[in-house]
Amino acid sequence: MSSDLTVGGEEPPEVADDGVWLECIETGEQYAPFEGVRYRSDAGALLEVRYAEHPTFEEFSGEGVWRYDAALPVEREVTIDEGATPLYEVPRLEDEVGVESLRIKHEGMNPTGSFKDRGMTVGVGVARRLGVDRLACASTGNTSAALAAYGGRAGMETLVLLPAGKVAAGKIAQASLHGARILEVDDNFDTCLDIVQDLASRGEAYLLNSLNPFRLEGQKTIGFEILERHREEYGEFPDRIVLPVGNAGNTAALYKAFRELVASGALDEEDVPKLTGVQAEGAAPMVEAVENGWDEIERWEDVETRATAIRIGNPVNAPKALPGIRATGGTAVAVSDAEITDAQRALAGEGIGVEPASAASVAGLRKLRENGVVGSDERVVCLTTGHLLKDPDAAAAAGVEPESVPGETEGVLKHLDE
């Protein structure tokens, strides 16, 4: 399978294991998937998991991530019933934005409160098959929580590196309670990832950031779920999917899901949704690359945003995500922290609680609609990636202040009247 949408079936190479292999996205060099640990090709480029056969929707059964086991590289083994997240209606927000339909795919309803669980159920399962004994990741928070939970479920040692003072308390608490060793690095996320990659290259741990191609296999099931549910309820696929961009793993994963469905004949090329990425203004290298027509991103050394989950200056999956945005006719946009907070409040008003980074998708849709990039006739799905309680401090800051009242009913009534 190439990185184009128009692809056909593939003949498995000699290195394939039961129709599964790894392939370099730049050179096409192919590797055995489970004979040893590998994150990049010999050329230093990203790898993708490739398959000899691509299933159609009719071949999926069950619920959650493992409903799609026919499109995954390993069998169900380490699971906490992840996936099958809601696709919420938001009627007031839909009217305000002015689109034909708007749905919110809330990945915060996964077991540890973020989409990262989808990648970990597959990634930790692969780690078991490879026989490794220590898992590791760099994280802005959600990855650490998911890895700690799934590593704990598998009975494996877990190591997480976090940028000191830059991770929401709710996420650190999760990683801690699930038993991970937490190392706080005196620098940003990208430095944490540099260190974890170095540890992995020395054989000290199995890396489970989205640089690991097996992680994205679990995350692509978000795309399968959106397409199935949307078609079930509207009779057609969405025109556009808007999603927050940190390391660009979800953008790459959804594009891969669409390519595989096109290859199987389950999805026509003209029905592929436009992938639209949203970043915070203080951490927007993907937007910069899209706006300038660059083939590669330029790393931002200094990044800052209250949306901690997307405070990333060097999106590792940009080489997979940029082609996906362009091939689907999508785009990318940057939004301010104030716009993110306003979108977070708007979602809360519809009863949907998300962390700041999640609300970036809605903030981006608003801006693109105002600019005329998104049409009033479009059916749109916004992806929200993490639960409100991931960052309770941000939620409290965005919400209303408590009011002091006397300790008796008449005093309360008087206060309400005032």
Q: Which residues are annotated as a binding site for pyridoxal 5'-phosphate?
A: 142, 246-250, 385
Among all chains, which residue has been given the structure tokens 């059964």? 61
At residue 245's C-alpha, the angle toward residues 275 and 23, to 5°, is 70
What sign results for the dihedral spanned by CA atoms 257, 259, 262, 264?
A: negative
Among all chains, which residue has been given the structure tokens 């969405």? 238
Q: Which two structure tokens, joined as six digits, stand for 240?
A: 């556009």
Annotated binding site: 142, 246-250, 385
Residue 383 in contact with residue 301, Cβ under 8 Å?
no
In angstroms, the Cα distances linking 119 to 81, 115, 145 are: 13, 8, 12
Q: Which two structure tokens, joined as six digits, stand for 166?
A: 């830059």
What sign results for the dihedral spanned by CA atoms 319, 39, 206, 256?
A: positive
Q: Which two structure tokens, joined as six digits, stand for 278?
A: 């949203």
